[in-house]
Structures are given as structure tokens and as C-alpha cells.
Structure 1
Amino acid sequence: MVGMTSTATVTSGTSRRWTILALGVLAQAAQAVLVNGTAFLIPTLHEQSGMSLAQAGTLASAPVFGVVFGLVAWGAVADRHGERIVLAAGAAFAAVATAAAALAAAAGASPAVLAVLLAIAGAAASSANSASGRVVVGWFPPDRRGLAMGIRQMSIPLGVALAAMTIPVIARDHGIGWALALPATACAIAAAACAIGIADPPRPERADAEAQGLLANPYRGSTILQRIHAASVLLVVPQYVVWTYALVWLVTERGWAESAAGLVVTAAQFLGAASRVAVGIWSDRVGSRMRPLRIVTVAVVASMAALALAGFAAGPVAIVLYLVASVTTVSPNGLAFTAVAEVAGPYWGGRALGIQNTAQFVAAAGVGPVFGALIGTFGFAAAFAVAAVVPALAVPVVPGEHRENPGIE
């Protein structure tokens, strides 16, 4: 009878883990539809509103700028009060702000007004970045954590895929306001689901954690976290170059229709999502996050260099090179994200993940205007070549093996 009870308890705990993982995926996917999906407004802003690529890229990057200001704050709230309240409240605030932006766009508001509302929405939606990663790491054991975080990281390319299939066509046919209704709805659904279904993972009481040294600042006495942050910043640049300008490249440079280009971008995102799971499983199998991260970093450099040459390639070859770059550039995130949470522990994980994502989003926020200007001046091939040089700098920065924080089971 005791054995039956134990088995039932384990089964119940396992079922809860996977349910919470599914909700974390939903929250992060909704955030991606908002924060990354606005890039798919660029063709409409450029062609119908008369904005330059740099101007359209800047407006589309407004949610990313907002994310920068919300990540560490949300992480601190999660460290103190838990993940459930952060995920539910952040998604709800994001839904309200995005709905306001949609109404403002429909009423013909200025780009400045839209940028402010979208930045507020991004700041609210950033709650998913810190809290959904924490909740996954907290509920899964180390030998399944790479897989679980890989699945969680699938949510971002899946959210981008949903946005790529819908936002460009809606914006072209019905306007920016209706296109923004999609991320507003996604965030509202995520808020309700997280409020109902998320449970905070178990962790030591603060008194016990203090006795074990788990409240100590993990940034002191070691540079592992700093090196992971630095490498991640360098690796996020090519990822956002591809995410932000691939659709524009296909439409303006290769002559594709928005709907057809959206399908190709969608396929790329699904492949990228699968790659995040694959590298997560790989890291579990080899018992390391950093060795796979170093190898994937080299692959990012090679794929972006190849994409820079795609302008000289005809037909399907260019598309294949784009798909390869799309897959490799999104692969490293889960490895770095998992490593940060493991090193930082249960009482610093939220802030460490917030710092990780803040640094990444600061770099990502500059991708829209900087690479828009590069493309406008020198063309896509030159911009892709620059995006290959940046991750090359990350290869020597990736640290060696790390010791997991003992407070994470």
C-alpha cells in the first residue's frame, strides 16, 4: 500500500511538472507574439506608411526596449514572491497595454504614441522571461532540465511562427490596429491560464537557505555568470537580425509575396523550435551546458557567414541557407538560460535570469535601427556579414564547466 501511494505521489508530481511546463510555454509564446511579432509590421510600415526601414525597425523594436526595463524588476519579484503572481500579472498588464496600442493605431495615433504603448506592453510581458524559466528549472531535476528548458525555449520561435503566419497579412489587409489585436488576445489567454494553473516550485525556507549559503550573491567570487551573460549578448545579435529582417529580405530582395514569405519564416521557426529541444537533450546526455554551447556558437558564425553569401545564390540555395541560419541562431538560448538558473540558485535565479535577458534585450533593441541603417546603406549581404562577426567574439567567452547551485534539486 505504501508503494502504491509513493508511485501515485511521484506520478502526480510528474504530471504537475509537465502541466506547469506547458503553461510556461504558453506564457513565453504569448510574450514572443508581442515582443518579436511587431517585427512583422515592418513591411506595412515601410510600404504603406512611408517609413524608412530604420524608422519602421525602431517602432517595431519598441516592445524590446520596454522589456529591457522590466526584466530585473520582475525577476526580483519572482525571487521574493514566487512565479505564479509574476506570470499572471505581467501577462494581464501586457494584454491591456497592447489592446490600448491597437485602439490607438486604429484611431490614427502618431508613431510616438504607439511606441510608448508598445514599450509599456513589452515591459509587462517581460515577466514571462524571468518567471517561466525559473518555474521550469525549479520543477525539473537536473537530468531532465535541458529537455524541459529546451521545450520551454521552443515557445519563443513558436510564438514568432504564429506571428509570422498572421501579423503581416492582417496588417496589410486590415491595418496595424487589427494586427496588434492578436498579441493582446494571446497575452490575455496566458494571464488567465497562469493564474489558474501555475504553482510555485518547492525551495528551501529562507532560514535554511541562509544556512546553506544560498542567499549569497553568486556574482561574487566567480565570473561564470558574467561570461555566460556576455556570450549570450553576442549570440542574440544574429538571432534578432534574422528574426527582424528575414521577412523584409524575402519580400524586398527576393521578390516574394508577404503570405509566401510568412510561410517560409514560419517553417524556419518550427525548425528552430525543434533545434532548442535537441540541444537541450544533448546537454542532458553529455552532462554539460557549456560544451554544447561552444559548438553551437561556432555553428552560428558559420551559418551567418553563409547567409551573407546567399545574396549571390539563386533560388532554393538562398532559402536553404536562410533556414540553416534560422535554426542555428536560436539554438544557444536554452543552454545559456538553463546554466544561469543552475548557477544562480533558487533565491537569485530570478534576478540572474533578469540580468541575462536585460543584457540580451539591450543588444536586441539596437538591432532594428542599427541593422536597418546598415541594410539601407550597404545592403542585406553586408548586414548579414556583420552579424557573423559578432558571435565569433563569443567563442572564447563561453566559460568552462560550472557547478550547479545545491539549492536546485
Structure 2
Amino acid sequence: MLGLGVAAQGAGCVFMYGLPFLLPTLESDYGLSLAQAGVIVGAPSAGMLFTLIAWGWAADKYGERLTMTGGLALATAFLGLAAFSPHPAVLAVALALAGASGASANASSGRVVLGWFPREKRGVAMGWRQTAQPLGVALAGVIAPFALHLGGLRGALLAMTAICLVTTVCVGVFVVDPPRPAAVPGERTASPYRDPVLWRVHAASMLLVVPQFATAAFALTFLVSERHWDAGTASQVIAAAQLAGAGGRLLCGRWSDWAGSRVGPMRQLAVINGVAMLALAAGAQTGNALGSALLIAALVISMSGNGLAFTAVSELAGPAWAGRAMGGQNTAQNLVAAGTPPVLGALITGTGFGTAFALAGALALAASAATPGRSGLRRTELEAELG
């Protein structure tokens, strides 16, 4: 079930977060600026904003299998439409609708993990679930150069459509909904948002999206335009970095299980993330030869801690509120994810990569300060962390 959940979310991530590999082609085919192409790249994330909580409600009411299957089927149809879009505006709308539909996997696959794994193993399990994004992006990095070579932009989008279609069939046939536990006496049912802890985790997660997307969205453009790499080679290196990031998510999950805390490792990793981004900014600004290596390192670090926040939110909210809290977490992250490519694209166009990377590093350090410490958790929340 975990493997199918990862596959479902990964199929969505292929097109939701793999579109940066198509940035140079979008610019040349449609005559767009980097900022305009960034709007298209952010379209799927923008579409997700309007449906994540609704898909979570559907999973609560109708089950994970039906929700994931229906959403991925719609995403497949809209991706096929995007492949034949005659105008960039039509392409952006079709991709936004595909993102809105594919959000079903984000909402439902998290419930599958929560339903089938106990708390003491959930850090690693959620780490596996969160590998879907880097694995999906890595797959996009592998197929994009070949698909572009064979069929251009349409060929790349059709390849993503095929992946989504195959995954839809597998999910519909093989996923089994987890058992729904009976209510436990004394279990939290009141809103966890009456206390600031969840709000702080949401806020820190939003800040950490910026360095993740600053590197993921513009890595190919930076390596090709600033470092004069071959596009195919750059895509393969970025794909390898995504795989390393997937491994980082598993290690962070194990770290949090061992530490008995999600927020502690999350706070420490945010500091490391900020330092890495500031070093990258300095390398990009000065043209240092280490700039390319720093970019890859920052890319891996920025995506490694994603599962920590997601697990913390689900556990701190409690079973009665986990679905809505995860929907809110995803919505908050994707709100920033949708805006990061166009905003940073405009900043890069005006002032260069160094300024954009420095801003991302500063926000990562701010995320460390926003993350609640163990001393700030109430007794019930500490019990949730310690299992």
C-alpha cells in the first residue's frame, strides 16, 4: 500500500514539479520570458490550492482508492489536453486543472500511510511517502530530454500523460483502503488550531518551500545559461540530485523516529538549509567555480526535510483532525510553490541568481526560528511526538 501511495503521488509530481525541465523549450517555442514561463511551471501547484482540502474530504467520506483513482484519471485527461494546447494561456489552464485533479493523490496517499503504519514507524513510512516528489522529478529529468528530442514539448507532455494513465490503472486495481479505527476515549476532537503550534509548523513549512523551489525550478536554467552545461547532462545531474534528496527524506524520517521528535530535526535542518543557500548565493554572485556543486548540494538539502513537517502536522493534529490539517499543510506549501517560480524568475531577470538564492537562504533561517521548540509544545503535543 505504501508503494502504491508513493507511485500515485509520484505520478502527479512528474508533471507538477517536473515542468522546470521544459522551461527552455517553453521560452523558445512560445517566445516567453523566464517570468512568463515560470507562470506555466507554477500552474499545476496553483490548481492544487483549490482542491486539496476537498480531496481530503472525499477521501474521508468515500475512501482512498476511489479518491486517488478518480483524481488521477481526470489529471490524465487534462494532461492530454495540455499536450495539444495551441496557446500558452490554454496550456497554463490545462496544467492548472491537471494539478487540481492530481491533488487527490496528495490528500489520499497521506491517509494511506497514517492508516497502515503505527506512530513509532511513521517517520520512516512518511519519509518513503515523501520520496514521491524527488522520485517523480528525477523520472521527469530522465524522460524529458528524450521526449523533447523525439516529439518536442508535445512529446514530453504525452510521456507524462502516459505515466499518469498507467498509475491510475494500478491504483484503481490494487489499492486497499486502510481500516478506520474506532474513536478512542479521551482522544482530541477540538480544533488543534486554537494553539499556535500547528500554525508555526505551517509557517515554517511555507518558508522552506522557497529554497526548495528556488533550486528545483531554476537549477537547469542556472547550469545551462550561467555555467554553460549541456542541457542533457544538466538534466541527468539534477535527476541524480532528486534521488539523493529522496534518500535524504528517508534519513530524516529515521532521524525523527530515533529522536522522538519531528520539530527538533526540522529546526536544525532549516539552519543547514539556510547556510547552504547563502553559500550558493555567494558562489553564483562571484562566479565561483564551486557554484555548480553548491547548487546540487543545496538542491538535495532543501528537499530532505519535507516529510518532517508533514508528519509533525498529522501527529500534532490528532486522528480527528489529521485529514484537514494535512490538507491545510499541502495548501500552504503549494500556495508558496505556485508563487515562487514567477517571483524568483522576475528577480533573477532583474538582479541575477545570487540575489534570489540569498533571499531563499534568509527565509530558510527564518523558518528555523518559526519552528516550535520542544519547550514550546504542550504536554499533549509532547505525548504525540513521543508516541
Give yes or no for the alignment of 1:238 onto 2:219: no
Contact preservation (8 Å) 1:71, 1:126 = yes
Aligned residues with identical type, % of pairs: 46
Summarize the alignment of residues 188-227 of structure 1 with structure 2, pairs less than 5 Å apart: 188-205=165-182, 208=183, 212-220=186-194, 222-227=195-200
Match of 2:37 among 49, 52, 56: 56
Cα offset for 1:23? Answer: 0.4
Structure 2 distance, partners of 1:200, 1:343, is 23
Cα offset for 1:81? Answer: 2.6
Cα offset for 1:172? Answer: 5.1
Cα offset for 1:203? Answer: 2.7
Letter in 2 for 1:37: G
Moved more, 196-205 or 370-379: 196-205
Match of 2:94 among 103, 106, 117: 117
Structure 1 distance, partners of 2:186, 2:173, is 33
Aligned to 1:4: none
Cα offset for 1:36? Answer: 0.5
Match of 2:220 among 240, 247, 253: 247
Give the number of equivalent residue pairs: 380
Structure 1 distance, partners of 2:312, 2:14, is 25
Segments of 5+ residues of structure 1 without an aligned counterpart are 1-19
Give yes or no for the alignment of 1:89 onto 2:77: no
Change (3 A) 1:404 1:344: farther
Contact preservation (8 Å) 2:127, 2:250 = yes
Summarize the alignment of residues 351-366 of structure 1 with structure 2, pairs less than 5 Å apart: 351-366=324-339
Aligned to 2:259: 286
Change (3 A) 1:36 1:357: same
Q: Give the 3-state SS of the residue equivalent to 1:203 in structure 2.
A: coil
Structure 1 distance, partners of 2:325, 2:5, is 18
Aligned to 1:319: 292
TM-score by length of 1: 0.89
Contact preservation (8 Å) 1:236, 1:363 = yes
Give yes or no for the alignment of 1:256 onto 2:229: yes
Segments of 5+ residues of structure 2 without an aligned counterpart are none
Contact preservation (8 Å) 1:88, 1:195 = yes
Structure 2 distance, partners of 1:404, 1:36, is 34
Give yes or no for the alignment of 1:328 onto 2:309: no
Contact preservation (8 Å) 1:33, 1:160 = yes
Structure whose alpha-carbon radius of gyration is higher: 1
Cα offset for 1:201? Answer: 2.0
Give yes or no for the alignment of 1:68 onto 2:49: yes
Cα deviation digits, residues 335-387 of structure 1 (max 9, x gap):
00011111223332221111101111111111111011011111111111111
Summarize the alignment of residues 1-400 of structure 1 with structure 2, pairs less than 5 Å apart: 20-104=1-85, 109-171=86-148, 173-205=150-182, 208=183, 212-220=186-194, 222-311=195-284, 312-315=286-289, 317-400=290-373
Structure 2 distance, partners of 1:343, 1:199, is 26
Structure 2 distance, partners of 1:400, 1:138, is 27
Contact preservation (8 Å) 2:43, 2:92 = yes
Contact preservation (8 Å) 1:344, 1:405 = no
Cα offset for 1:310? Answer: 2.2
Letter in 2 for 1:60: V
Cα deviation digits, residues 230-250 of structure 1 (max 9, x gap):
100000111011110000101
